[in-house]
Amino acid sequence: MPARDDILRALRAAEVPPLPRPDLSAVAGIRYDDLRERFAKSVVEAGGRCAVVLQGSVASALLQIPEYAAATKIASLVPGIGNLDLTAVKDPHELAEVDFCVLPAELGVAENGACWITDHGRANRAVCFLAQHLAIVVQASSLVHNLHEAYARLELPARGFSMWLSGPSKTADIEQSLVIGAHGARSCTVLVTS
């Protein structure tokens, strides 16, 4: 018998009595009085920075980020920003030298500072991880309280890559001391636009 059928048969033979699927529609989870404030705090707790762009453009807000101002190679999935044409990239290895990457997020979660990023089936998601520094742009109206709310709202792509991204890449594998900049971004700034 092929392994697949053998395993499924063995699992069915275990005869676990059926148990109901818990109803999650009633689960609300924690809620905050000031969503934006809590989100910003969570971003900082995750090792990132958070700025609210009240007036002016994202482009000018980006210039306030020292790493952005110093960057030479800038990739962006937010239209109108950056100096790299990602659609022209044939092989993700070409993105190894990217200094800065700007990503749009569909949602931001107040309880943990995570932003929902999708690649919409593009081949070059590597840029999110190869870039030395990151900025994420999220609309204030796209902030939710917690992950229950987030997944109730989200439409998972049938195909493609998506992720929760919270803060810069980090590790505490050496004596539990937190070090920012493990393999991915060394800094992560979240811009909340209104």
Partner 1 sequence: MIDHAARAKTFVEDEVRLHWHDKAVWFVRQKRDLARAVLPEWEELRTLASQIKAHTLSRLADYLEEFEKKALAAGAQVHWARDADEHNLIVHGLLQARGVTRLVKSKSMLTEDCGLNPYLEARGIEVVDTDLGERIVQFRHEPPSHIVMPAIHLRKEEIGVLFHERLGTPVGLADPRALTEAARQHLRAKFLGAQAGLTGVNFAIASTGGVVVCTNEGNADLGTALPPLHIACMGVEKLVPGPRELGVFLRLLARSATGQAITTYTSHYHGPRPGAELHIVIVDHGRSGILARKEFRRALQCIRCGACLNTCPVYRHSGGHSYGVAVAGPIGSVLAPHLDAKKNAGLPFASTLCGSCTDVCPVRIDLHHQLLLWRGELAARGLVPLGKRFVSRVGRWVLLRTWAYRLFGKLARIFAPLLPRSGWTRQRELPPMPRESFRAQWRNRAGPR
Considering only residues 127 to 186 of the shown chain, the ones binding partner 1 according to CB under 8 A are: 128-130, 146-148, 150-152, 154, 156-177, 179, 181-185
Contacts of 172 (CB under 8 A, 6+ apart): 178, 179
Cα angle 75, 44, 31 (rounded to 5 degrees) comes to 110
Q: How far is the CB of 108 from partner 1 (least distance, A)?
A: 12
Q: Which amino acid is at 10?
A: A
**Count of residues in contact with partner 1, rule CB under 8 A:** 79
Q: Out of 37, 45, 54, 64, name the contact with partner 1 by CB under 8 A.
A: 45
- Whichever of 57 and 161 has its CB closer to partner 1, that residue is 161
What is the smallest separation between the CB atom of 100 and partner 1, expressed in angstroms?
Answer: 16
Pick the closer one to partner 1 by CB: 13 or 80.
13
Looking at beta carbons only, is 27 or 63 nearer to partner 1? Answer: 27
Closest alpha carbon to 115 in 20, 27, 43, 32: 43
- CB of 10 vs partner 1, minimal distance in Å: 4
Chain-centroid distance of CA 76 in Å reads 14
What one-character-per-residue DSSP string does 68-107 give?
A: HHH-SSEEESSTT--S--GGG-SSGGGGTT--EEEEE-SE
Query: Running DSSP on this structure, what letter comes out for residue 142?
Result: G
Within 3-32, which residues bind partner 1 (CB under 8 A)? 3-4, 6-8, 10-22, 24, 27, 29-30
Distance, in Å, from the CA atom of 80 to the CA atom of 62, rounded to the nearest integer, reads: 12
Q: Which is nearer to partner 1, 20 or 80 (CB)?
A: 20
Strand partners, 75: 101
33 binding partner 1? (CB under 8 A): no
* CB 181, min distance to partner 1, A: 7
CA angle 140, 146, 152 (to 5 degrees): 90
Q: Which 76-135 positions form the footprint of partner 1 (CB under 8 A)?
A: 92-93, 96, 109, 111-114, 119, 121-123, 125-126, 128-130
Least separation in angstroms between residue 105's CB and partner 1 is 13
At a CB cut-off of 8 Å and minimum separation 6, what does 3 contact? Answer: none
Place of tokens 């762009």: 53
Q: Residue 140 Cβ, how far from partner 1 at the closest point, in Å? A: 20
